[in-house]
Structure formats: C-alpha cells, structure tokens
Structure 1
C-alpha cells in the first residue's frame, strides 16, 4: 500500500465531502439570516448558545496495553454495531468486552456479528444508554466518537467514573477540534462543522438532558465535563488526522 497515495486520496475525499455538506449549512444560514448579521460586523457569540484503528491508540495509554494483554475487563460505551468491541477482542484475546448502545437494532446486529466471528463468551452486548450501562470494576471504558452526540454528557462521564476500577482508564476519542474557532478553518473542520450542524447537535438536543457540547467541541469542553464528573487526571494521549485521543483517570 502506498501510504502517500492513500493520504492524498483521503484528503480529496474529505475536501469533497466538506464542500457537499457545507451546501446545507449555507442554505440554513441564509434562511436564518446569518449572513445579514455577519455583514453588520464582527459577530458576538452568546456563551452557551451551542453548547486510526482501535488497537493503534492503546499503546499511547499508560499501562493499558499490559492490562489488556493480561485479560482486562472493558466496557465499550456507544458501540453501535460493535466493530470497536470486536477489534479490541481480536487484538487482546484474554480481554473481555461488554459493548453497549441505546439503539436496539444496532445491538441485535452486533450480537449476530460477534457470534459469526466466534467471539461468544468474550464479547457481549447490551441495550443501555451511556448513563445506565451495567457493571463496575472495569479496567478500561472506551467511547469512540460519541460523547459529543449525547444529551447528557456529564451524566455519562459520572457513570464512567462509577464503573471504573480505582486504577482504571477512560479512553475517549473525539473529533479533531481546536478551542480556537479560526484553527478549525481546515477541510476537516469544514466537514465536521457541517456534520455537527445536521447530525451531532440535533441528536444531542433530542435526547434526555437536552445538552449539546456543540459543533466542534474542543479539548476545553471535554476537560470541563471530565472534571465535573470527578476525574482528576486528564491528558491528550495521541492525535490522528480526524480524531483526538484522551486518557482520563479518577
């Protein structure tokens, strides 16, 4: 595989998707009068108005790789169709993984896929929200690209805090975003702002809690949620072209 060609191809795909998605944002902005307001001068933002592969990130976390190799207990929250849960189980044969998602149809498919792949006994799935997933004493709780979609991210963070073992780790993967708006003026940022407008923010506001971390929630917003939930250690462990990977501990 020619990595340079793959990178170039992904860059073109991202730029094209961003341009396509932005068309919808332009229409909405026009109807809401956004451009008329911008023409008046610098915008005044009201606070609170808008609130790689899995195993490749594990070595960036302190001691987690060794725990998984030895047989750690993992909760994969917001697992969707269970791909991340099964990737973890495949990479670490001694680990046991409980995947959870609030969408029953996704969990049904995840169970079918896990059975077909031979993961019965090591990977199981349950229908549960991020605030109600079962179990305690987990060595690792993972959330892949889903916290910003939740109506109650603080409730989810508090549940993770309760579910972790005293020396456990919360692996949180979120879209690549800067706290400075102007630093998000990139092809990836353009794509994410549009996707957030039509998917992430509406999804969060439609859920119980009705809170949205907002379009392009930066590290400061994520850190604030973690601190409010009682976590005391927070660091950016790694970054990828499209994601930021956080290591959060009690």
Structure 2
C-alpha cells in the first residue's frame, strides 16, 4: 500500500504546528505525552461514524495520525489529508507507508480547497481552527461546507471555552504560542456560530475533554442551508479543475 501527494497551485504560507519549524519533529511526541491524543482522535472518529466506501477529508491533517487511523479502519473509506506545511505532509506520508494504508496527501490551504463542490461524505478536523485568524476560520468552515456532498457532515475537535478556571489558566500557554487573536473565538466558545454562518443548518457541541493545556471541545455540523457564506468564485473554479479525490 502507498500514499500519494499532490500540491495545489501557489505557495501556501505555513505556521508550524508548534510555532517553529525546528520543533516539528517533536510534534507527535508532545501530542502523545500532553494531549491524550489517541483518546480524543478516537472519540472524533466514533462521532464521525464513517461508513464503508465513503470519501473523507482530514482538513489540516498535520502529521497524519488521524488520517492513518481512518485509513486503518475496516470499511474501505477513501481518505484524503490536506495541510499547508510540506514538512508535516512528508511525515504523514511516511506514517501511512509504515502503517500499510493508502491515503492521498495534498498540500494546500484550508481557505482554498482544491476540490470540487460535493467531493466528500465527511470532513474531519482536529486542532486546526485555533491556528487561524477569524476571517480564515470563517472561510475554512465555508470551504468545508462547499466540498461536502448532500447529507455530508463536518466533525471538529479543537480548543473551546475552558471548562473551569484551571483549564483557562492552562490554555494561556496555547494562546501565547498560537496568538491571542487567533484563539479568541475558541476561548469564547464562538465556533458553533461561525459554523452556522458558514451555511450549516445544525451545529452540535457533542462533548469535551480536559487536557494538560486546556479544554478540547467536539462539534458536529450538518444539514446545509442555502449556499456557503464565504467561498469565492476563484475557489469554485479551482475546485472544478481538481477533480474528485480518489
């Protein structure tokens, strides 16, 4: 089995997951020790209820842990992982190869997805949104809405409103690393309203989990209403050129 990789047009600007490129090789170890990584990713997959032969996009796939977990499941889902950082894409490809699963990895921006409308049955995202400025959060949510087929669902786990004072104090470390402006919507619990504004008719907060750095919150968005709020004509034309992932 193998993984494949393509790069979307342009040169995406990237912010390394730990803030600095030299720390990227340490990312998986940090996640495993501090974030209950397997537990929260497994919970997200259980929530997503991915069916046989469905098309799944891991949006902001990072080093590919979630994508590989999806690919290793029985049922034959078609998995695509997208990230703007070429270094983590390389790590993800090696991880998929070692696991013996077939995953397509693309380099591109969450605000300009290189896929046609209605390409996926599920879009999943773990720890992407807190890296993004407010405007890019909105555009990313609308792009997720655009590439979902009718009946598709968007499943997200990311930092949310702290469950208590301790979680709020711990989350300051994340805010110092990723920026107070970028994490404002997370800490204020505004991601659900942002997803609704992107065109999702139903947005549910399905659970939460405490970690050493704050409170992770799970969301399920579905039941698209009207047209996506943000995707530009340029995004649509780019998607039309990309073809359905396979």
TM-score range, shorter chain: 0.5 to 0.7
Q: Secondary structure at the match of 1:134?
A: coil
How much does 1:98 deviate? 0.5
Local SS of the residue matching 2:184: coil
Aligned to 1:57: 44
Q: Establish whether residue 134 from structure 1 lines up as the match of residue 114 from structure 2.
A: yes
Q: Secondary structure at the match of 1:70?
A: coil
Q: CA deviation at 1:173?
A: 0.5
Residue deviations 1:63-97, cap 9 Å, x none?
Answer: x42xx232211000111111110011112441111
How far, CA to CA, are the matches of 1:75 and 1:240 in structure 2? 23
TM-score by length of 1: 0.65
d(CA) in 2 for partners of 1:57 and 1:126?
22
Contact 1:193/1:215 (<8 A) preserved = no
Q: Residues 247, 105 of structure 1: CA spacing in aligned structure 2 closer, same or farther, 3 A cutoff?
A: same
The 4+ residue runs of structure 1 with deviation greater than 3 A are: 57-60
1:105 aligns with 2:87: yes
Give the strand-richer structure, 1 or 2: 2
Partner of 2:197: 228
Match for residue 149 of structure 1 among 131, 143, 165: 131
Tell me, what secondary structure is at the counterpart of 1:226? helix
Partner of 2:149: 165
TM superposition score normalised by structure 2: 0.66
Preserved contact between residue 192 and residue 205 of structure 2 (Cα < 8 Å): no
Q: 1:108 to 1:58 in 2, by over 3 A?
A: closer
- Superposed, 1:1-250 pairs within 5 Å as 52-60=39-47, 64-65=48-49, 68-120=50-102, 123-135=103-115, 136-151=118-133, 152-178=136-162, 184-186=164-166, 188-196=167-175, 198-201=176-179, 212-214=182-184, 216-219=186-189, 221-241=190-210, 242-249=215-222, 250=224
Alpha carbons 1:148, 1:217 under 8 Å: kept: no
SS in 2 for 1:240: strand
Structure 1: which 5+ runs fail to align? 1-12, 15-51, 203-210
1:80 partner SS: coil
Whose helix proportion is higher, 1 or 2? 1
* Rg larger for: 1
Maintained 8 Å contact 1:76/1:99? yes
Please tell me the root mean square deviation across aligned C-alpha atoms, in Å. Answer: 2.2
Mapped to 1, the partners of 2:178 and 2:93 lie a distance apart of 26
CA drift of 1:238 comes to: 2.1
Unpaired runs of 5+ in structure 2? 1-32, 225-246
